[in-house]
Structure 1
Amino acid sequence: MGETRKRIAIDMDEVMADTLGKMLECYNRDYSDTLTIEHLHGKKLRHVAKCGGEVSKYFDDPLFLRDLKVLPDSREVIRELQGRYEIFIASAAMEVPASFAAKYEWLKEHFDFIPSTHIVFCGDKSIINADYLIDDHAYQFERFRGQGILYTACHNVEETRYPRVNNWREVAEMFLK
């Protein structure tokens, strides 16, 4: 009987995919604004946008998520992690049901080495049975039974309750040393 490998669950948006970059691009175009990541220190786009929470309308377009940029080094590090860990992608897609197909297609295009059986679309990530969860939202760790690892994003820079990684090279350092 083979040894059981530890499991790492990984969020997609703002951890693997540059969702905020695309949102900023669309928002600045649609509202003739010039917001940058620096304007969002400790905040979400909806907190500083002229239109407030209306920025979430971008998620209503099923194609919005389809052409997101892959965050630097994520593909290479996740592939390497698969050699030592069981990897799952855990996306809170229930918050935006129209996103299922686009998220799945994006993952199959950019992370084709992750089996479909290891892609989980859910709401509350506490249902995920993993040893670690890499996510940009600290609230996902509150009921998660494993260890939460906070992936730095502009909205979570002031969060101090969890171990943090700032990029995929730091993920590699944490899990592949």
Structure 2
Amino acid sequence: MDKKRRTIAIDMDGVIADTVSHFIKWYERDYGLRVGLDAFEGKPEAEGLPGNTVRKYVVTPGFFRSVPVMEGAKEAVLKLSKNFDVYIVSAAMEFPQSLIEKYEWLQEHFPFISWKNIILCGDKSIIGTDYMIDDHVRNLDTFKGTTLMFTAGHNVGVIHHRRVNNWKEIIEFLKEEV
């Protein structure tokens, strides 16, 4: 009898989609000023750029559709899908215009993820997978399985979840779990 495959919930923004580098790129395009990743360190993501710029971008058509893929994410998620049931989970309801953009983005960059394994929701506390990879503490704190906190500027001071800095570290950790 086959052993039941374990399940993983993987966040989009800040985990497989490099939203911070995209904020920086759009800010330079619109204001002619280059900011570094340190602008996002130690503060909520929405406060990483002057004014209300981050909030403006997340409601701008095309923003989510054009976000670059996080380095190593595509290859790592493909590798994980061989041993785990992988679900992409995004709390997308706050920005409803992002729903179709996120779906199209996943179809382009992660075509091996079935539409049945894409969960666009409002509150991730309902997710019941074995593992969750996310950059936001609020999602990890309510999760009942094993958490992996993807390093981001807004979570630098958090120490109560297992931290992973990149996709290579995630693969190494989950290799032990198979």
Could you tell me the TM-score, scaled by structure 2's length?
A: 0.92
What does the per-residue CA deviation read over 1:96-154, in whole Å, with 9 as the maximum and x for residues that have no partner? 11100000000010000011000000111111110111000011022211122100011
Offset at 1:67? 1.5
Offset at 1:40? 2.2
What does the per-residue CA deviation read over 1:45-75, in whole Å, with 9 as the maximum and x for residues that have no partner? 5325321x34211121231111211111111
Larger deviation: 34-43 or 11-20? Answer: 34-43
Report the CA distance shift for 1:56/1:37 in structure 2 as closer, same or farther (over 3 A): same
- 1:102 matched to 2:101? The reply is yes
Aligned CA RMSD, in angstroms, stands at 1.5
For 2:140 and 2:125, locate their aligned partners in 1 and report how far apart those are by CA, in whole Å. Answer: 7
Q: Secondary structure at the match of 1:94?
A: coil
Q: Secondary structure at the match of 2:97?
A: helix
Q: 1:138 is matched with which residue?
A: 137
Q: Secondary structure at the match of 2:149?
A: strand
For 2:99 and 2:30, locate their aligned partners in 1 and report how far apart those are by CA, in whole Å. Answer: 25
For 1:23 and 1:54, locate their aligned partners in 2 and report how far apart those are by CA, in whole Å. Answer: 9
Contact 1:31-1:50 at 8 Å conserved across structures: no
Q: 1:167 is matched with which residue?
A: 166
Q: For 2:25, give the aligned amino acid.
A: E
Structure 2: 5+ residue runs without aligned partners? none
For 1:112 and 1:88, locate their aligned partners in 2 and report how far apart those are by CA, in whole Å. Answer: 13
> Percent identity at matched positions?
41
Report the CA distance shift for 1:78/1:119 in structure 2 as closer, same or farther (over 3 A): same
Report the CA distance shift for 1:48/1:135 in structure 2 as closer, same or farther (over 3 A): closer
Contact 1:126-1:140 at 8 Å conserved across structures: yes
Could you tell me the TM-score, scaled by structure 1's length?
A: 0.93
More helix by share: 1
